[in-house]
Amino acid sequence: MTERLAAQILEYIRGSGLPVGFHLTAQELSERFSVSRFPVGLALQLLASKGALTHQRNRGYFVSDVKDTSPESLGLAVRDESSSIYFRIAEDHLHGRLPDPASEAYLKETYGITKAQLSAVLGRIAQEGWAERRPGYGWSFSPMLTTPESLEQTYRVRLALEPAALLEPMYHLNPEVTARCREAELRLLAGAIETDSADALHERGVRFHEAIIGASGNPFFLEAVRRINRVRRLLSYRSMIDRKRYRQQCEEHLMILDLLEQERNEDASQALRRHLEHTIGNLQAIRPILEH
């Protein structure tokens, strides 16, 4: 588990374009990967021992130069069995193949997994909001977000919220955040669109939008967007089978960053609105994939 988590953290660092010297906190990583702070601490120690991070006494862990570093080059286990189980359960849920409620005994037997593996996967699913524990018996899986229509509805809510967030009077996007977002987009345009996992592509988009909305100075915008992002994962992963549209998305992200950097927030808000409208239009083109 420590090696898998270390590999995930390293991919997060590279995929986000985190600069050398960036401070990694156990709390933020534990929330991002849905684990406790203890395994995160072990993973950070492992990455530091391999030179991917530096450790400063009483200050924590900081990013080293990982530009040409991969989990494989560090000898880290990259196969995440829990992710494989997660996607199997997700596909069965999308196809209506799961009983409601489903007992933990049923899930363990159906997917051939241990209690610890099931606990980890169900913890992630519960955090994302598409399953909850039933009092006294099993788990119920939410009927939300199992159709293309429900995914489009989430984008329409975002269309109402996100452009407005850029017009808040206290809006300020930190230059370091801008630089990280831009580097992540340029990395995709340089070839990572074809090589990154669906999980990594989804996280890149989530990080971009949460970064620019988080700069609004109004925490309610960010909380609303985060909740939507948690529950739209199922169909978002499936939509990534077709990656042709991602180059346009990256270019639109970069244009929005440029406008925000110039403090042209009205123009950035309109650009973000067009960007989300393009995404809604693209959903119609890939509808057969979403309905598969």
Query: Angle between the 175-187 and 2-16 helix axes, to the nearest 10 degrees?
Result: 100
The strands making up 60-63's β-sheet, listed across from edge to edge, are 23-24, 60-63, 53-56
pLDDT at 289: 44
Helix, strand, or coil (residue 7):
helix
Here the tokens at position 75 are 């000898």
pLDDT at 233: 65
Query: Are the C-beta atoms of 208 and 185 separated by less than 8 Å?
Result: yes
pLDDT at 5: 83
Peptide bond into 101 cis (omega under 30): yes
pLDDT at 275: 95
Contacts of 292 (CB under 8 A, 6+ apart): 238
What's this model's pTM, rounded to 2 decimal places? 0.64
pLDDT at 96: 80
pLDDT at 15: 67
Mean pLDDT for back-to-back runs of 10 residues, the chain (292 residues): 80 77 88 78 89 89 80 67 79 82 92 87 80 85 70 89 97 90 89 78 85 93 84 63 80 97 97 93 61 52
Backbone dihedral angles phi then psi of residue 73, each to the nearest 5 degrees: -65, -25
Query: Are the C-beta atoms of 250 and 256 separated by less than 8 Å?
Result: no
- What are the beta bridge partners of residue 252? none
Query: Which stretch of DSSP H or E encloses residue 108?
Result: helix 104-111
Return the residue matching tokens 């159906």. Answer: 110
Identify the CA nearest to 192 among candidates 67, 288, 51, 52: 67
Contacts of 212 (CB under 8 A, 6+ apart): 162, 165, 166, 173, 181, 256, 257, 260, 272
